[in-house]
Amino acid sequence: MSDPDFAEMQELRAKLEEEESLYAEVLAALDGIAAAATPSPSAPEVRDGVERLNSLWELPVPPETTGLVGRFRRAVWSLVAPSLARQQEFNSELVQVANAHLHAVTRLHERVGDLCAALVRYAQRVLPAVDARDRMASALATSRAELILMAFDRRQESLGRRLERLLALRDRVEVISEQLRAIEGVHAAAEPARRTAALEAATDAAYGAFENRYRGTAEEIRERLAAYVPLLRGLEPVVDLGCGRGELLDLLKEAGIAARGIDRNEHFVADCRSRGLDVESADLLAFVRAQAPASLGAVVASQVAEHLPPAALQEMLREAHRALRPGGLLVIETVNPCSVVAFLEIYNRDLSHERPLHPETLRFLATAAGFSDVEIELRSPVEPAARLQAVPADGLPPAAARALNENLARLNGLLYAPQEYALLARR
């Protein structure tokens, strides 16, 4: 948004806030008028006073004129009668003015009451209209936002499909490129050997593309494996069985730890060697068998054990124990089958997996092979947002909410347990 547009928006916002403030003041004033009790002209003190005025304004009748007393009263009356007449006239005018004023005040109060009632009725008609306007504006804004989000979702879905097609195309190009390089490398060999080499190259390249697609980027794998570097310091030489793309070898090289990688995938081996890593193309068991007793400081096999048949796994454990020197370390990282999400989303996705390995099973096999101080470390936890969320206790009996959340915690432990584990065993 440009600066002029922003300034105009701020001005409109300030104007809206001012109008809303004035509107609130008017509503408060109307509420006050509706709630206030108007003074009544028919209050007892007013009504009684008017009645007394109307009863007292007339003068008493002249006294009787019979007898001595009557003559005396008549004489006195003749003396005060003129003054009393003027007083009577004054009283009459006063009472008439008071009655007229009282009548006017009564009419005024009636009109004020009518005005208050009209204002309240007007407010009652206006408020729903304003509320309806606000709701309509809110609904329109929500609808517009929903339309924008729907359009965004459609575009994102379309981009996702295109990205999937591009990734699939990249994987296919990588496989074909490796196959062509293999064919060129064995061009002078006999025809059967050339076909075999091309098939192996295509298979290796395909698995390399699979790793790139589903295991994670090299940066992500480096981040996961970085925790092993302090454990391996001082245990040179380190052997990384099934080194794959060489992420751990890169980390060890940067830390100044002598390490060697072994892998049968020629695609991975060539890539690692191009980065200056010491990697050998060999069968893992054959390599370990060939090592002299107590000649290695550490053996690492990350995401390898689940690819081995049981007999080969047990032999690897025995040969690693023989080749490690006293105090040497064996690290085996594999998929955690105790996590349902890991078993379904990671283990089952890779067709080259032989069978899942329960952590306690691998611990037992390592102990049986002669290792001591065997530990299991859970790794790669599931993001909290992806787990089942606790239920708020509001509106539920405390015991029910507690039981429900305890069951959710158990389900989280089963469904969303850490996706990998590492066996750490000392010679």
In a domain, 207, yes or no: no
Query: What are the distances in angstroms from CA 359 to CA 96, 134, 253, 315?
Result: 110, 60, 30, 18
As a whole number of angstroms, the distance between CA 392 and CA 153 comes to 30
Last residue of a domain, one of 89, 120, 146: 146
Average pLDDT for 31-56: 62
More confident residue, 194 or 370: 370
Q: Which residues contact 350 (CB under 8 A, 6 or more apart)?
A: 210, 214
Q: Is pLDDT above 70 for 177?
A: no
Last residue of a domain, one of 131, 146, 161: 146
The type of residue at 49 is: G
Q: What backbone phi and psi angles, to 5 degrees, belong to 373?
A: 50, 55
- The structure tokens listed for 74 are 């008549």
Structural domain range at position 104: 25-58+72-146
In a domain, 32, yes or no: yes
As a whole number of angstroms, the distance between CA 306 and CA 313 comes to 9
Q: How far is CA 310 from the centre of its chain?
A: 43
Looking at the chain, the whole-number percentage of residues with pLDDT higher than 70 is 62
Which range, 46-55, 73-82, 186-195, has the best average confidence (pLDDT)? 73-82
Residues 278 and 413 in one domain: yes
DSSP structure class, residue 381:
P
Task: State the total domains in the chain.
Answer: 2
Q: Is pLDDT above 90 for 238?
A: yes
pLDDT computed for residue 299 by the predictor: 97
Q: Is pLDDT above 70 for 220?
A: yes
User: What's the pLDDT tens digit per position in 305-364?
Assistant: 999 999 999 999 999 999 999 999 999 999 999 998 888 888 888 877 888 999 999 999
Residues 305 and 421 in one domain: yes
Residue 138 binned pLDDT confidence (cut-offs 50, 70, 90): low
User: What's the pLDDT tens digit per position in 88-123?
Assistant: 676 777 777 777 777 777 777 777 777 777 776 666
